Amino acid sequence: MQKAREKKRSYKRPTLRTTIFLLVSAVVIAALLVTDLLIHRTIEEEIEQNQTEKAQQLARAVALMPVVQQALVEKETEPVQQYVETFMGQADVQFVVIIDMDGIRYAHPDREKVGKAFVGGDETEALNGNESVSTSVGTLGRSLRAFTPVYAETGEQVGAVAVGISLEVVEKALQANRVNLLIGTLFGLSAGLVGAVLLSRFIKKTLFHLEPRAIATLVEERSAMLQSTIEGMIAVDADGKITLVNKSAQAIFDRAGLPPKPEGVDVEAYMQNSRLRHVLASGQPEYNKEQDLNGLTIVVNRVPVRINDQIIGAIATFRDKTEMKQLAEQLTGVKTYASTLRAQTHEFKNRLQVILGMLHTKEYEQVEAYVAQIVGNQSEELKQTTDRVKDPVLAGLLLGKKSDARENGVDMKLVIDTVIEPLPQERLALELTTILGNLIDNGIDAASGKENGSVKVTLYVLDEELIIRIADNGPGMSEVELEKMYVRGYSTKGKDRGYGLSLVKQSVEAIGAAFTVESEINQGTTFTVFVPIERGRHT
């Protein structure tokens, strides 16, 4: 059993090139052999038929000669013998024999056999007045014989004529044709083998020199990869017909109310404004383009597919814009949490250094007072914030920004006039994180360059609206700066800045909120945001 398994494991499958070569060769050889047999049989029959007809025609011609008829009537052998010898010198036959009604030879290629009985036994039919053809062995060997009766002028049968063609002649003719067939067969076989080699090379090159098992593995891996990717994917051929739709794409299509199984359908008929036909025509890719899909907004990347510089199709990958925005919002929240922890860590480190310095100078009473002050302030801040702001995301953000302000030497006052219950929607909390975080950062940044810089953050709920007011005593903004402050990338503070207020504007619009801004040069800036929230979720 073990040896059988080892033998099975050692068996190596033939390569694709070898398989194609063997298969094509076998087909060509089988076809040529069958063709050779059929042609050989047909030629053999034709040669026999031609020789038979030749013998019959010669026999008829001899039977009609007056010298033959007269010799049989007058019982004379010499005239007819001379005629037969002359005739055979002109005709390519083995023999011409003339017999009377008793089967006695009157003429024969061998004069010694004249006057003797005919040998073969196949002359009976002719002596009975009928033509016949047979193959028999006579005194001259095996031959193909044609018999024809001979009639006198009176109409009475007086004998018969036998014309024989040696079967060796027939065999020689067949052999000559057999050689020609063999040459043709060998030539066809050679051409077939060369064609098999060229075909196997061409197919191998077309398949990028991959074996069938490797191709099957690649197809399975491609299918698994396409179906497992989180992005929707749709592919079309050069005619714009859909050839592939993965599971994620079909899920998005289902949400958009499009029919299932769109393979084979024209892409523009299935999903309008897909622009895949435009990509096929232009050959230019398109990235991060928004597309409306029956009211569902998706973000699409479209690229042409080329093989040997020929566009054979196009692929579009896309995701629901809502999902992408939620991802961005979560990232923004994580970034805010990280910034908060960093600020608190840095502030705690500074305080530890102050305490360490006091301990070195042995000012223990001052250390005790300083620690009590820190604990008292933090406890008061923590209690005020957590008692008033029940949403943990907002509470953590406010506490972190307060630490960040202290680190930057800015006095941040937090005023919460009403209790703010947990926000009704997770998305609302994430958007408020973006709004509060960026506005407070801008306020701290503006106030940090001024002596006694301060930022006042006020939150309260009034008539189903959460009102947020952030005021700083920074340098303020000019009219030009006020007009351009929402432009992404615009900033008076250097490169890689100017994104905060544009994000604030997007978040405000996303939750249906509104905001105002008031700013005076050297007086500061105040932002007020009005956020609608559900009834019964605040006091």
Question: What CATH number does the domain containing 421 carry?
Answer: 3.30.565.10
Is the residue at 201 inside a domain?
no
Residues 380 and 525 in one domain: yes
pLDDT range class, residue 328, cuts 50, 70, 90: low
Strand order in the sheet with 411-416: 411-416, 454-462, 465-472, 524-532, 514-520
Structure tokens at 205: 């090159």
Residues 316 and 367 in one domain: no
Is the residue at 72 inside a domain?
yes
Average pLDDT over residues 419-429: 75
209: left (phi over 0), alpha (psi -120 to 50) or beta: left
- Provide the β-strand partners of residue 459: 416, 468
With 50 as the cut, is the pLDDT of residue 539 above it? no
Is the residue at 181 inside a domain?
no
Q: DSSP labels for 339-373? A: HHHHHHHHHHHHHHHHHHHHHHTT-HHHHHHHHHH
pLDDT range class, residue 371, cuts 50, 70, 90: low
pLDDT range class, residue 374, cuts 50, 70, 90: low
The answer to whether the CB of 147 falls within 8 A of the CB of 165 is: no
User: What pLDDT was estimated at residue 528?
Assistant: 93
Residues 436 and 310 in one domain: no
Structure tokens at 171: 């065999």
Mean pLDDT, the chain, as a whole number?
Answer: 78
Question: What CATH number does the domain containing 152 carry?
Answer: 3.30.450.20
With 50 as the cut, is the pLDDT of residue 464 above it? yes
Is the residue at 118 inside a domain?
yes
Q: What is the pTM of this model?
A: 0.39
Cβ neighbors of 127 (< 8 A, separation 6 or more) are 99, 101, 103, 149, 157, 159, 160
User: What pLDDT was estimated at residue 526?
Assistant: 92
User: What pLDDT was estimated at residue 377?
Assistant: 53
| Out of 16-25, 117-126, 282-291, 441-450, least confident range | 16-25
pLDDT range class, residue 326, cuts 50, 70, 90: low
With 50 as the cut, is the pLDDT of residue 496 above it? no
With 50 as the cut, is the pLDDT of residue 60 above it? yes
Residues 52 and 148 in one domain: yes
Residues 454 and 387 in one domain: yes
Question: Which of 173, 199, 216 is at the close of a domain?
Answer: 173
The proportion of the chain whose per-residue pLDDT surpasses 70, expressed as a percent, equals: 76
Residues 286 and 430 in one domain: no
d(CA 159, CA 67): 13
Amino acid in position 220: E
User: What pLDDT was estimated at residue 337?
Assistant: 55
Residues 161 and 277 in one domain: no
| Out of 147-161, 367-381, 439-453, 460-474, least confident range | 367-381
Residues 390 and 511 in one domain: yes
Question: What single DSSP character describes residue 268?
Answer: H
Block residue for tokens 């000019």: 478
| Out of 44-58, 97-111, 306-320, 517-531, least confident range | 44-58
Number of Cβ within a 10 Å radius of residue 175:
10
Q: Give the phi and the psi of residue 201 in degrees, each rounded to 5.
A: -65, -45
pLDDT range class, residue 367, cuts 50, 70, 90: low
* Count of structural domains within the chain: 3
Question: Which of 173, 190, 212 is at the close of a domain?
Answer: 173
The parent domain of residue 49 ranges over 42-173
With 50 as the cut, is the pLDDT of residue 333 above it? yes
Average pLDDT over residues 407-412: 84
Between 38 and 234, the more confident residue is 234
Q: Give the phi and the psi of residue 59 in degrees, each rounded to 5.
A: -65, -40
User: What pLDDT was estimated at residue 63?
Assistant: 85
User: What pLDDT was estimated at residue 230?
Assistant: 77
Residues 315 and 380 in one domain: no
Is the residue at 1 inside a domain?
no
Between 159 and 358, the more confident residue is 159
User: Which pLDDT tens digit goes with each residue over 135-173?
Assistant: 766 555 567 888 999 998 888 888 999 888 777 766 776
Is the residue at 271 inside a domain?
yes
d(CA 518, CA 526): 5
Residues 64 and 155 in one domain: yes
With 60 as the cut, is the pLDDT of residue 10 above it? no
d(CA 483, CA 470): 19
Residues 138 and 56 in one domain: yes
User: What pLDDT was estimated at residue 429?
Assistant: 74
Is the residue at 19 inside a domain?
no
User: What pLDDT was estimated at residue 481?
Assistant: 81
User: Which pLDDT tens digit goes with each residue over 239-253?
Assistant: 999 988 888 888 888
Length of the chain (residues): 539
Is the residue at 69 inside a domain?
yes
Secondary structure of 487-499 in the HEC alphabet? CCCCCCCCCCCCC
User: What pLDDT was estimated at residue 536?
Assistant: 38
Between 426 and 18, the more confident residue is 18
Residues 375 and 316 in one domain: no
Strand order in the sheet with 310-320: 242-245, 232-237, 310-320, 296-307, 286-293
Average pLDDT over residues 345-373: 68
Signed CA dihedral, 320, 322, 323, 329: sign only: positive
User: Which pLDDT tens digit goes with each residue over 302-323?
Assistant: 999 988 888 989 999 888 766 5
